[in-house]
Amino acid sequence: MSKYTLNVNGKAQPVDVEADTPLLWALRDTMGLVGTKYGCGVGACGACTVHVDGQPARACQLPVSSIGKRKITTIEGLDARAAHPLQQAWQELDVPQCGYCQSGQIMSACALLKQHPHPTEAQIDEAMAGNLCRCATYVRIRAGVQRAADIASAASGASAASAASTGKGRK
């Protein structure tokens, strides 16, 4: 066994695992972060999607030894109060059916919205294509991404208006 220190959700997390242990199992079994799911084990379904330095990555395919100092964000690190626009939209629209794939879906959608704050349906479909849903809630997932974009846009507009009214947005 080897000791590694991983930067997970903004905290240094020591793990004592074999070098070839997939990040998925370090997160779930060693750190108790069970929001990231095991789906296929070959990186094809997206259930294990996390962010590594802000980019979606399949945790089942990343050996712990390859992580180094890169920053890992799991579904638990997205927003502890479930107040992220995607989490709000998922709840508002009742997106999941069984829910198993949803943490991976949300993490992929989060990366999309960072790159394209107002994505087209084609951009949503392209970004989400690697995430499989056994219940086939793809229409609700697309609607959830679109709703999250609206929520984020409204929140940033409200923040800008508040900053302008208090003078904090002025130079």
pLDDT tens-digit map of 81-103: 889 999 999 999 999 999 999 99
Q: What are the backbone angles phi and psi of residue 144, rounded to the nearest 5°?
A: -65, -40
Domain extent listing, the chain: 2-78, 85-163
Query: pLDDT band at 168, cuts 50/70/90?
Result: low
Using DSSP bridges, classify how beta strands 49-52 and 55-58 pair: parallel, antiparallel or unpaired.
antiparallel
**pTM assigned to the model:** 0.89
Q: How is domain 85-163 classified at the CATH fold level?
A: DNA polymerase; domain 1 (1.10.150)
The 3-state DSSP class for residue 48 equals: coil
Judge whether residue 78 has pLDDT over 80.
yes
pLDDT, tens only, 7-41: 999 999 999 999 999 999 999 999 999 999 999 99
> CATH: 3.40.50.2300, 3.10.20.30, 3.40.228.10, 3.40.190.10. Which one for 2-78?
3.10.20.30
